[in-house]
């Protein structure tokens, strides 16, 4: 690893290298136990740029958020797809997209992400709204008295089904709810092994995971997908594109569809849980958000009772400032994705303040925004949930400061630059719609006092799961 930093014109020195005492594993164990705590302790010792030996790899962390821009904007030299391709192909079991056999596949699949924005996003969000209402109607319209459920289970069941039928459609001749809940149960089992697969643990060591993955992938074989009606343009476009590549077998194409399913619900389910959990834990937040929703429904002449159809435009969803702030606040508290880049060539990464990091082809650079999200210099009392943190004078707040300077990046649950989540607009709309329906239709309360904590098992990989589930009850709101 040939890596050094030069300060001003002449001073060159190697960035501190943090090595563990266990050969090969390096600092992987401390990192896995609590990545944020570990990185903060290294920052105190070594400053804002240091290299860590994690499980056979040298990763240079850039800790100062003012330096993020310099990493993010160098997208030609600092690439991300190669890393993501290797991890996704191993986890979801398809041949690497960039192995030379599939020219243009990466670009073709990327172009399709446009169907998650603009007009197609409006159509997707409308379908999501209809599907969510259908699910709420089918599942919960009998709740005239208090019904008790576990909250994570509830969020998982609603979000999984709504996302699945909005994106992939459903078989009109089968009991769609049953089929999808069977897929969901397998998905939940697979998802429990996801952090191990991402960490390159051989699937053979993970019990039944290999068999479960195979069964999940089989759901996306052409003879099954052909039966699903009412799916989205984005999935149709992915099907058409994958079809063009003769070297991809049915299993490989199905594995690509399974990977997209994981991307679309793997983070959305826990993020929805946290949004709901924090709202119910904070009555003042719940009251303000519910008031905003009621006000919107009233001003647009829409009824909120069961059987009443709610329709909201993208603009109306965008204007729900308190709901959006509450969502952003829960995302700030539960997201933990690491932004990785790999140097494509030897080059000098210029940082602010005349610092230069000399990189060799293949070196890894990492940003870890969870530390920014929990920085007391940026967010006062960062461990506290403040639902209106992203509101100023009744409007959305976008100015956050550190050391008196305005930050360009202050909230990054969806990643950054070239690795930014293409589904972020749909995800935000879906979570808003879920909360609008839940709060407009039901009285909801927690029935357990306990505090739910973050399960640190997937730090660096996205939205953290809760360390336990919690009971809540709901009943139809009296109008």
d(CA 10, CA 2) in angstroms, rounded, equals 18
Among 157, 419, 429, 438, binds ligand HEM (CB under 6 A): 419
Q: Among candidates 269, 349, 264, which has minimal Cα distance to 71?
A: 349
Binding pattern to ligand HEM, positions 74-113, x when CB under 6 A? Answer: ----------x-----------------------------
Contact between 231 and ligand HEM (CB under 6 A)? no
Instruction: Report yes or no: 324 and 296 within 8 Å, Cβ to Cβ.
Output: no
With CB atoms as reference, the residue minimizing the distance to ligand HEM is 423
Binding pattern to ligand HEM, positions 272-311, x when CB under 6 A? Answer: ----------------------------------------
Contact between 429 and ligand HEM (CB under 6 A)? no
Q: Stretches 190-198, 276-284, 297-305, 422-430: which one binds ligand HEM (CB under 6 A)? A: 422-430
Q: Identify the three-state secondary structure at position 211.
A: helix
d(CA 46, CA 5) in angstroms, rounded, equals 13
Shortest spacing between CB 160 and ligand HEM, in angstroms: 12
Shortest spacing between CB 139 and ligand HEM, in angstroms: 21
Annotated ligand binding at 90? The verdict is yes
Q: Among candidates 6, 48, 45, 33, which has minimal Cα distance to 368?
A: 48
Shortest spacing between CB 124 and ligand HEM, in angstroms: 8
d(CA 163, CA 261) in angstroms, rounded, equals 8
Q: Stretches 189-197, 259-267, 274-282, 287-295: which one binds ligand HEM (CB under 6 A)? A: 259-267
Annotated ligand binding at 155? The verdict is no
Which runs of E-coded beta strand occur in 2-116?
5-7, 11-13, 17-18, 49-54, 57-62, 78-79
Contact between 415 and ligand HEM (CB under 6 A)? yes
79: which strand partners?
342
Per-residue tokens: 285: 């937040």
Contact between 423 and ligand HEM (CB under 6 A)? yes
Annotated ligand binding at 424? The verdict is no
Size of the site for ligand HEM (CB under 6 A): 22
**Which residues 306-345 are close enough to bind ligand HEM by CB under 6 A?**
335, 337, 339
How far is residue 15 from each of residues 18, 356, 358, measured CA to CA in Å? 9, 11, 10
Contact between 65 and ligand HEM (CB under 6 A)? no
Instruction: Report yes or no: 139 and 163 within 8 Å, Cβ to Cβ.
Output: no
Per-residue tokens: 206: 């993970």
Burial annotation 290-325 (CB, 10 A radius, 16+ → b, else e):
bebbeebbeeeeeebebeeebebeeeebeebbbbbb
199 vs 476 by CB, closer to ligand HEM: 199
- What is the contact surface with ligand HEM in residues (CB under 6 A)? 84, 116, 260, 263-264, 267-268, 271, 335, 337, 339, 413-415, 419, 421-423, 426-427, 462-463
Residue positions forming the annotated binding site: 90, 267, 421
Residue ranges for the binding site for heme? 421
């Amino acid at each position: 690893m040939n890596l050094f930093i030069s300060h001003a014109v002449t001073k060159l020195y190697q960035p501190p290298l943090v090595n563990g005492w266990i050969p090969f594993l390096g600092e992987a164990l401390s990192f896995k136990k609590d990545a944020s705590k570990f990185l903060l302790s290294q920052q105190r010792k070594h400053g804002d740029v240091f290299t860590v030996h994690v499980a056979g790899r040298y990763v240079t962390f850039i800790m100062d958020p003012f330096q993020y821009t310099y990493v993010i904007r160098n997208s030609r030299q600092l690439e991300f797809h190669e890393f993501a391709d290797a991890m996704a192909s191993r986890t979801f079991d398809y041949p690497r997209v960039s192995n030379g056999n599939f020219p243009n596949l990466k670009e073709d699949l990327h172009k399709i992400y446009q169907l998650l924005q603009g007009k197609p996003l409006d159509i997707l969000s409308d379908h999501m709204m209809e599907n969510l209402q259908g699910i709420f109607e089918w599942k919960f319209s009998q709740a005239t008295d208090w019904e008790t459920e576990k909250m994570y289970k509830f969020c998982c069941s609603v979000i999984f089904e709504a996302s699945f039928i909005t994106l992939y459609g459903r078989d009109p001749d089968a009991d769609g709810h049953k089929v999808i809940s069977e897929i969901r149960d397998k998905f939940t089992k697979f998802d429990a092994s996801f952090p191990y697969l991402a960490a390159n643990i051989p699937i053979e060591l993970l019990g039944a995971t290999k068999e479960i993955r195979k069964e999940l992938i089989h759901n996306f074989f052409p003879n099954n997908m052909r039966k699903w009606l009412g799916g989205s343009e984005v999935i149709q476009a992915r099907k058409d594109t994958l079809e063009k590549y003769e070297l991809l077998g049915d299993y490989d194409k199905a594995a690509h569809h399974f990977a997209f399913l994981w991307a679309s619900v793997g983070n959305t389910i826990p993020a929805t849980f946290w949004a709901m959990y924090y709202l119910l834990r904070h009555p003042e937040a719940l009251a303000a958000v519910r008031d905003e929703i009621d006000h919107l429904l009233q001003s647009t002449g829409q009824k909120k009772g069961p059987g009443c159809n709610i329709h909201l435009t993208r603009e109306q969803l965008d204007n729900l400032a308190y709901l959006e702030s509450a969502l952003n606040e829960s995302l700030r508290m539960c997201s933990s994705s690491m932004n990785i880049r790999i140097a494509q060539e030897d080059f000098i990464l210029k940082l602010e303040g005349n610092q230069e990091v000399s990189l060799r082809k293949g070196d890894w650079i990492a940003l870890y925004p969870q530390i920014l999200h929990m920085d007391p210099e940026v967010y006062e009392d960062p461990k506290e949930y403040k639902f209106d943190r992203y509101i100023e004078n009744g409007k959305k707040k976008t100015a956050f400061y550190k050391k008196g300077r305005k930050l360009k990046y202050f909230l990054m649950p969806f990643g950054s630059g070239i690795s930014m989540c293409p589904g972020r607009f749909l995800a935000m709309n879906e979570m808003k719609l879920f909360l609008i329906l839940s709060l407009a239709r039901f009285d909801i309360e927690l029935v357990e006092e306990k505090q739910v904590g973050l399960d640190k098992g997937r730090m660096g990989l996205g939205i953290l799961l809760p360390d336990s589930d919690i009971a809540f009850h709901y009943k139809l709101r009296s109008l």
